[in-house]
Amino acid sequence: MVDNNEKILEELQKKSGNNVCADCGSEDPDWASYNLGIFICMRCASIHRGMGAHISKVKHLNLDRWEDSQVQRMKEVGNIVAKNKYEERVPPCYRKPNKYDPQVLIEQWIRAKYEREEFCHPERQSYLSGSMEGFLMKRGKEDSRYQLRKFVLNENEDSLKYHHASDGCGRAASCLDRLFDRLRIKNIGRWRYHVRENREPKGVLKLSELNVCFAPAKIGHMNSMQLTFMKDGSTRHIYVYHEEPEVINNWYTAIRCAQLHLLQVAFPSMPQSELVLRLPKDFAREGWLWKTGPRPSDAHRRRWFTLDNRKLMYHDEPLDAYPKGEIFVGHESNGYHIRVSNTGNGCKEARFPFQLVTPDRIFCLAATTHDDRSGWLAVLQQTIKRPLTPQDSTIEATLVRKRTTSNSINIFSGR
């Protein structure tokens, strides 16, 4: 009987829809949740187990013993039927993860589907209103310390603001501060004290100029994000995290939802499928490369490179608040291309050189390994061959100004 059940499961797993993980799309899943009736991969199976058996009961297709009733359940449901139920009302702004995405995104997708059943009950989707308030740990601009900051998302103002944690929040203020606030004591002897007022926010980010992505590997915290926007003609990075994965995922989704609403107002006749493509995207590639200056005699410097659509940025360190430089990567018809050399360039660590040729300058770059260079060549070649859009010209013009103006890149002009 067990052998027969194994054969039935094997045939079921080959059916269309069942041959990929129900949650992340990985090929040939060899686990299943038999009460939900879905086929899942090992990574997602571990998340299902973490939710508890009252939510999902997990078994391996071959290594565990299957009861007839459990196999029958798999027959009755399957991935397609389950998808129609548990993903019935996924908001268009919600990012559905794939197998390459960070753990926090996949885990919260699974918990949203089966534990909280957010997509069966839209009233449970707390990130659709266009507004959100809460506290996140934010990395300092000048140092590596993280401080508690209050963030306020307001779609109507096209803004994401952050404040000192104590601004408007008595919980974070000291007991002495609260006492003085009550008594309105302004001067005690030589000790001058100023009554707490509603301070201006420490920072105001325009939603329409904001890119947001998860950054656990870079920041070193599983539940972390990177906010990137244009400020005074240059790119600015902000790094935040929260101890609760659901909270950071809700912030990520709330930003995307608010941006989609802004786009729908700005472009009422544009199909929603096209507007979704303008929402925040992960960086195409990040990592260390070696770079020289414009002169052949310039020394090699190790820089952290980030490719954001057509904007190639380089930094001293991965968590720098500002890049040292920004390079627009245009189309091959305008003279942009890649040159590859295997002869070495005199730098022991930079053994695999290549050049990014632009109309204004040749950038001499190098990777430490052959595979790393191949990865960079692939994404750069793909970018150079991709046709330019009118929005790309906005990006190019902004970077050509070399930070002499405060012009911004936003979701309306493209990213």
**Same domain for 146 and 240:** yes
Answer yes or no: is 403 within a domain. no
**Same domain for 269 and 133:** yes
Dist CA 238 CA 226 (whole Å): 6
Dist CA 367 CA 345 (whole Å): 11
Quote the number of domains for the chain.
Answer: 3
Q: Sign of torsion, CA 120 91 284 102?
A: negative
Q: Which two tokens stand for residue 315?
A: 């930094």
**Same domain for 103 and 65:** yes
- Please say which residue of 102, 122, 142 terminates a domain: 122
Answer yes or no: is 405 within a domain. no
- Please say which residue of 243, 277, 311 terminates a domain: 277
**Same domain for 146 and 271:** yes
pLDDT band for position 312 (cuts 50, 70, 90): very high
**Same domain for 111 and 231:** no
**Same domain for 133 and 118:** no
- Please say which residue of 258, 277, 296 terminates a domain: 277
Answer yes or no: is 77 within a domain. yes
Dist CA 303 CA 313 (whole Å): 9
Dist CA 99 CA 72 (whole Å): 28
Average pLDDT in the 147-168 region? 90
Answer yes or no: is 177 within a domain. no
Average pLDDT in the 25-50 region? 97
Answer yes or no: is 180 within a domain. no
Report the run of H or E that residue 99 belongs to, with start and end. none
**Same domain for 141 and 91:** no
Give tens-digit pLDDT for 279-301: 998 999 999 999 988 776 778 89
What is the pLDDT, as a whole number, of residue 343?
60
Average pLDDT in the 169-191 region? 43
Answer yes or no: is 415 within a domain. no
- Whole-number percent of the chain with pLDDT over 90: 72
**Same domain for 232 and 143:** yes
**pLDDT above 50 (res 249):** yes
Do residues 48 and 58 make contact, with C-beta atoms less than 8 angstroms apart?
yes
**pLDDT above 60 (res 314):** yes
Please give the mean pLDDT across all residues of the chain: 87
Answer yes or no: is 409 within a domain. no
The DSSP 8-state label assigned to residue 298 in this structure reads P
Q: What are phi and psi of 192, to 5 degrees?
A: -90, 130
Give tens-digit pLDDT for 372-385: 999 999 999 999 99
Q: Return the CA Rg of the chain.
A: 26
pLDDT band for position 322 (cuts 50, 70, 90): very high
CATH assignment of the domain containing 56:
1.10.220.150
Average pLDDT in the 111-138 region? 96
Average pLDDT in the 47-76 region? 96
Q: What are phi and psi of 135, to 5 degrees?
A: -110, 135
**Same domain for 326 and 225:** no
Alpha helices in 15-165 (DSSP H): 42-51, 68-76, 78-86, 103-110
Answer yes or no: is 174 within a domain. no
Average pLDDT in the 5-11 region? 92
Q: Which of 35-39, 84-88, 173-177, 220-224 has the lowest mean pLDDT?
A: 173-177
Q: Which residues of 28-57 are buried (b: 16+ CB within 10 A; e: fewer)?
A: ebbbbbbbbbbbbbebbbebbeebeeebbb
**Same domain for 142 and 47:** no
Give tens-digit pLDDT for 324-367: 999 999 999 999 999 997 665 556 778 899 999 999 889 999 99
Dist CA 177 CA 165 (whole Å): 14
**Same domain for 332 and 229:** no
**Same domain for 240 and 298:** no
Average pLDDT in the 260-268 region? 94
User: What range does the domain containing 30 cover?
Assistant: 4-122
CATH assignment of the domain containing 243:
2.30.29.30
Residue with tokens 């325009």: 206
Average pLDDT in the 22-39 region? 97
Do residues 13 and 88 make contact, with C-beta atoms less than 8 angstroms apart?
no
